């Protein structure tokens, strides 16, 4: 967003000979599908139906296992369009993959995004109460981890101070032992006479 007067400035303005040129750089992160293959024939052959959801062959085992464990997951699922159904299943698989990451790799934003994805899937009619419970547990684990990390740092600082104090006390102890040793030494004959 730029104010219009910024565009028209004589020095540093964005207009060159009355033209505004906008340049954008695009980076391709991932290519999905093939551009030179007719839409349906390629996708229909690659995707496999699992309980009404078209999934990639690599996803069949995972999706089948989800339906095995939670047979009522899609009992009230509303979208009939196969592309929307597949998209929802991909969101679910991505959500599960996110939840399987080590908690130290997940940020608060990641957990908020996971909750938003879960809410979206629930709005489509998917029965995901089991996943909601797991996400709550994951959030709780993350809070405990963060609290634990804070406590570990506090204890380490306290221990460092105690170690320094112990080192100081050991020096004092050695000095006192030397003083006591000197005090215990009896006078010699020469000292007395």
H/E run at residue 186: none
> Six-digit token pair at 164?
């320094």
- How far is CA 46 from each of CA 39, 59, 184, rounded to the nearest angstrom? 11, 11, 93
Q: What is the rounded CA–CA span in Å between residue 16 and residue 10?
A: 10
> Six-digit token pair at 73?
């997951």
Nearest to 44 by CA among 29, 33, 31: 33
Nearest to 65 by CA among 101, 89, 98: 89
All structural domains of the chain with their residue ranges: 4-136
Place of tokens 């967003």: 1
pLDDT by position in tens, the chain (length 193): 667 777 777 776 667 777 777 777 777 766 676 655 455 544 456 888 999 899 999 999 999 999 999 999 998 998 888 889 999 999 999 999 999 998 888 888 999 999 999 999 999 999 999 999 999 999 999 999 989 999 999 999 999 999 999 999 999 999 999 999 988 888 888 888 8
pTM over the 0.85 mark: no
Can you list the positions of beta strands (E) in 10-148?
Answer: 15-16, 19-20, 48-50, 53-55
């Amino acid at each position: 967003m730029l104010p219009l007067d910024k565009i028209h400035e004589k020095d540093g303005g964005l207009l060159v000979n009355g033209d505004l040129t906008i340049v954008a750089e695009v980076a391709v992160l991932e290519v999905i599908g093939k551009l030179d293959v007719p839409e349906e024939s390629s996708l229909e052959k690659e995707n496999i139906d699992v309980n009404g959801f078209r999934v990639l062959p690599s996803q069949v085992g995972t999706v089948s296992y989800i339906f095995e464990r939670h047979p009522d997951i899609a009992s009230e699922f509303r979208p009939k369009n196969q592309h929307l159904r597949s998209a929802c299943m991909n969101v679910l698989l991505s959500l599960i993959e996110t939840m399987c990451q080590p908690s130290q790799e997940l940020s608060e934003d990641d957990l908020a995004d996971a909750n938003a994805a879960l809410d979206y899937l629930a709005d489509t009619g998917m029965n995901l109460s089991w996943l909601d419970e797991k996400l709550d547990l994951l959030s709780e684990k993350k809070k405990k981890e963060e609290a634990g990390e804070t406590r570990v740092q506090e204890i380490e600082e306290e221990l460092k101070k105690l170690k320094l104090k112990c080192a100081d006390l050991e020096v004092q102890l050695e000095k006192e032992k030397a003083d006591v040793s000197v005090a215990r030494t009896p006078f010699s004959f020469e000292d007395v006479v």
